[in-house]
Structure 1
């Protein structure tokens, strides 16, 4: 496969933050699930490393979003083995399948798979990776733990493998999620962990005015996070309600859709638009 077409992990690692209120304008549970499904799909399409959820209305909403995204990210062959029954997953079947590399490793001819530890002793552990044979690794691991394994050798009864850190895999290997109790907690975390912070807002600078500066920053930064507002309040308005000046935290506040032809752009729509543009900028510097 041409390197330009491979879903590789490349720097900077991209993450984004959404408010718990992203589902506040949807009252049908099925539609809530579909909306969050589009968020997860966007993350997988554009190789997002992490989705951060900050509470701006209720912790329950944040946890509901979190459990749906976590479920969506689990490879299909592991879902029933990992996920416990939860009423919040009642309509999880409506989530769009990701079909990313770790969901369909066969399509990429990989010998790396995610699995779940089904037995363990002082010498070795047995991992179910969704194949006819299990994988034996020479580590003592907690039963029920999700792991990523490299299949090194096949025997008559099993595979012999080793545990690998998914962050060391050259391919994009899915996203993680994290909940923050407030936008203030989120911003402090991003700042203290050296993220390049980008706020998506129609009140910001036009993307074409800052494109060159962002491209320069992408060459040196390792992590970038994009902050999105919700259905009712823009990102600066959510911050203002918490007595926070968003300008003190964000490296960029950008209007990614100059001359938008609609009154407002939904958060899940904005995620696709913004990530597509950032992906273009990121790939431009990685291929030149």
Structure 2
């Protein structure tokens, strides 16, 4: 588990050049897999104003829903995601295989699990954690939501859980759906250090040592990506954070680099610097 927290910012125009829903699902799957591989804490979907309002909102919601589906353990997906056309092709998505996606159907005391709140009474909330029977939490929680739980008791008649999540292993990413501009979306995270990826920025090989020292210095780091139409156009400078413009794919061999390609390439480089 890294000492820092990475947040990745994706524009709502990310899928604008792909109209086939299977292709769109696949492209989001590449993003979701990269987030998990490189232990990203947050993914924020911002409005880059490249699409009509309704289209941009629908695309953002699609991206968020597919990412949330990927992050949800398989044993909860039928409860959390009703059948709908937007999820028609989720079968092509790669599994995350992260610690919060356990394959063991017989968890033990002190294990952590994602759970779906099914119903509640005046004593607490019944929770599906992927066992043959519902677990019980002695807290009043919102129904039909996913929370993280720690198993505190397993007996023949009952399984008791408490809201909690581990702090020493990667426990998935948070999806933040923002209808705000990039700069205003950044305020939702309040980063210490902002990296704007662009082919017009400083080549990573020219400032590698300086960049690595900043990655070691700062804990809350935001990495920004543009969409298929253009690089990031917003001025994201602020007195609240330090920022740089960075070219993570110098001397690229193609005219353009797709957003999902830039995400994988960039996170791979930053993963190297985090050790």
**Partner of residue 185, structure 2:** 186
What's the CA shift for 1:65?
1.0
- Equivalent residues of 2:119, 2:125 under 8 A apart: yes
Q: Residue 11 of structure 1 contacts residue 223 of structure 1 at CA under 8 Å; is this kept in 2?
A: no
**Partner in structure 1 of residue 80 of structure 2:** 82
1:67 equivalent among 51, 65, 72: 65
Q: Render the CA deviation track for 1:247-281: whole Å, top value 9, x for unaligned.
A: 56761111112222222211101100100110110
Q: How many residue pairs align between the two structures?
A: 264
Structure 1 residue aligned with 2:16: 24
Equivalent position of 1:112 in the other structure = 112
Runs of 4+ in 1 over 6 A off after TM superposition: 107-110
Residue in structure 1 matched with residue 266 of structure 2 by the alignment:
274
Contact kept, 8 Å, 2:115 with 2:147, in 1: the verdict is yes
* C-alpha distance in 2 between matches for 1:126 and 1:187: 36
Q: What is residue 101 of structure 1 aligned with on the other side?
A: 99
The residue aligned with 1:40 is: 32
Closer, same or farther: CA 18–202 of 1 in aligned 2, 3 Å = same
Output the CA distance in 2 between the equivalents of 1:93 and 1:199.
33
How far residue 199 of structure 1 moved from its aligned partner, in angstroms, is 0.8
Higher mean displacement: 24-33 or 83-92? 83-92
- Cα pair distance change 1:145/1:28, threshold 3 Å: closer
2:215 to 210, 214, 218: 218
The alpha carbon displacement at 1:188 in A equals 4.5
> Which TM-score applies when normalising by structure 1?
0.84
Distance 1:64 1:126 in 2: 29
The reply to whether residue 53 of structure 1 matches residue 45 of structure 2 is yes
Q: Shift of residue 19 of structure 1?
A: 1.0
Q: Does the C-alpha gap of structure 1 residues 189 and 135 become closer, same or farther in structure 2, counting only changes over 3 Å?
A: closer
* TM value normalised by structure 2: 0.88
Which whole-Å CA distance do the structure 2 matches of 1:68 and 1:218 have between them?
Answer: 30
Question: Closer, same or farther in 2 for the Cα pair 1:211/1:103, shift >3 Å?
Answer: same
Quote the Cα distance in structure 1 between the aligned partners of 2:75 and 2:87.
17
Q: Output one character per residue of 1:55-97: Cα deviation in whole Å (capped at 9) or x when no partner.
A: 2222221111111111111111000011233332222222222
Classify the secondary structure of the residue corresponding to 1:253. strand
Unaligned runs of 5+ in 1: 1-7, 240-244, 284-288
User: What is the match of residue 208 of structure 1?
Assistant: 205
Q: CA deviation at 1:117?
A: 1.8
Matches of 2:237 and 2:248, distance apart in 1 = 17
Over the residues paired in the alignment, what is the CA RMSD in angstroms? 2.2
Residues 87-129 of structure 1: CA distance to partner in whole angstroms, max 9, x if unpaired? 3222222222212110126499871111112232222322111
Q: Secondary structure at the match of 1:280?
A: helix
